[in-house]
Chains A and B, each alone.
Chain A
Amino acid sequence: MTNERVTAQILAQFPQLEKDPSPVKDYPTLRLPDAASLLPVISHLKDSLGFSYLDMVTAVDWKGPVDPAGYVREERAHPFQAKPAAAAAAKPLPGAPYRDAFTLVYALSRFANPLKIFLKLDVPREQPRAASLARIFRTADWQEREVFDLFGIFFDGHPDLRRILTLESLQGHPLRKDYAHAEDRFDR
């Protein structure tokens, strides 16, 4: 029941939000219509509703099926196979909601009267940008660096947006569906 009450509270304050048709488990999951409403909603959740902890920032790439050419894997002739298996062509899954967008997913927690809430925000794959939460939650600093590193989503107002997990010299962003690995000095 707390779920519905909190969702109603937020929707009353921000009528432009909508309930996500595919929520994360049973948690209240809200979808943001545009990047501009991100900071006001997060600030309201933190200051007025007591969601004082940012669990996670992550992203999903909704581009079509992964291109097998993007893998580093070499096609070797297997001793028990007549000929090397050709790379299977990428086949779209029927019914999968492919679209040209990244979805940013934010999870926030409240410890008094415990509850977890999820927020989703679509950003375009061309020039993906969103506002940084680093000024509201210090922990967003590294989380957003990771999302930037692996998906290449830029966070406006981030204090130090550098790669965090991969080599500084890596070309591209590995968790994008169209990532193709370029040979670096360690692959030789």
Chain B
Amino acid sequence: MGVALEKFPAICGVLPGGSGILTTADAFINWSRKSSVWPVTFGLACCAIEMMAAYASRFDFDRLGVIPRPSPRQADLMLIAGTVSKKMADPIVQIYRQMPEPRFVISMGSCANCGGPFHDSYAVLKGVDKIIPVDVYLAGCPPRPEALYYAVLKLQEKIQQMKIGHGAGAAPQQERGSRDLGAP
């Protein structure tokens, strides 16, 4: 944002009057969208500790506009930070459906990706992508906060490629404008 403001006089000077700029709707909307990716506040297992470290002052997720929201109604991103037990699967789908579109999912750590060391367990879901669509998979057990940063930057790259004309979709399966899971 600071960079944009520094360059603002030069950019605005192009048009008569010096206070307007020309851009595409896509570029502007995607820029604002990717600069305020608000995740819903919840963690499932030990990956959540790394997620909390990423939020806190040393790594400071606020710099990317990633500010945790206490309600899924105000959130854009769901960070699946940890092991998804089968008991937790239905609440996750419910929270996902409560989030407004466009909504994004980062699957953080081996457990959320594929079940990880608990793949053989009777109680653990073998990958959160069995119940909700995932935008970015992040490997690691657990991934460091820097890796979570990288995942958010990758998600921002993905958001930058979204086209309003195609609906809200960032992923190919989103291009129809909705990633609704068949819910009403």
Name the one of A71, A179, A186, A188 contacting B86, with C-beta atoms under 8 angstroms.
A186
Q: Please choose the segment from A23-31, A122-130, A165-173 that sits at the chain B interface, where 4 or more of its residues have CB less than 8 A away.
A: A165-173
Q: Is A64 an interface position by the 8 A CB rule?
A: no
Name the one of B86, B120, B125 contacting A73, with C-beta atoms under 8 angstroms.
B120
B interface: dominant SS:
loop
Name the one of A179, A181, A186 contacting B89, with C-beta atoms under 8 angstroms.
A186
Name the one of B120, B123, B126 contacting A165, with C-beta atoms under 8 angstroms.
B123
List of B residues within 8 angstroms of A4 by Cβ? none
Name the one of B87, B89, B120, B130 contacting A166, with C-beta atoms under 8 angstroms.
B87
Q: Tell me whether A167 and B121 are in contact in the complex, defined as CB-CB below 8 angstroms, given that A186-B130, A187-B126 are known contacts.
A: no
Across the interface, name the chain B residue whose C-beta is closest to A163. B87
List of B residues within 8 angstroms of A71 by Cβ? 120
A72 touches B122 (CB 8 A): yes
List of A residues within 8 angstroms of B122 by Cβ? 72, 166, 170, 174, 179, 181
A174 touches B123 (CB 8 A): yes
Within 8 A of A (CB), among B90-121: 119-121
Name the one of B87, B120, B126 contacting A167, with C-beta atoms under 8 angstroms.
B87
List of A residues within 8 angstroms of B123 by Cβ? 165-167, 174
List of B residues within 8 angstroms of A179 by Cβ? 122
Q: Tell me whether A186 and B125 are in contact in the complex, defined as CB-CB below 8 angstroms, given that A71-B120, A72-B120, A73-B120 are known contacts.
A: yes
Query: When chains A and B are docked, how far (Å) is the Cα of A186 from the Cα of B119?
Result: 12
List of B residues within 8 angstroms of A166 by Cβ? 86-87, 122-123
Minimum distance in angstroms from B114 CB to a CB of chain A: 13
List of B residues within 8 angstroms of A167 by Cβ? 86-87, 123
Minimum distance in angstroms from A111 CB to a CB of chain B: 33
Minimum distance in angstroms from B93 CB to a CB of chain A: 11
In the complex, per-residue mask of B62-89: 1 if CB is within 8 Å of any chain A CB, else 0: 0000000000000000000000001101
Query: When chains A and B are docked, how far (Å) is the Cα of A165 from the Cα of B87?
Result: 8
Query: When chains A and B are docked, how far (Å) is the Cα of A135 from the Cα of B86?
Result: 32
Query: When chains A and B are docked, how far (Å) is the Cα of A165 from the Cα of B119?
Result: 18
List of B residues within 8 angstroms of A72 by Cβ? 119-122
Q: Which residues of B contact A (CB under 8 A)?
A: 86-87, 89, 119-123, 125-126, 130-131
Task: Please provide the 4 A-B residue pairs with the shortest distance between their CB atoms, ordered closest to farther.
Answer: A73-B120, A72-B120, A181-B122, A186-B86
A-B contact pairs, 15 of them (CB 8 A): A71-B120, A72-B119, A72-B122, A165-B87, A166-B87, A166-B122, A167-B123, A170-B122, A174-B122, A174-B123, A184-B86, A186-B86, A186-B89, A186-B131, A188-B130
Q: Which residues of A contact B (CB under 8 A)?
A: 71-73, 165-167, 170, 174, 179, 181, 184, 186-188
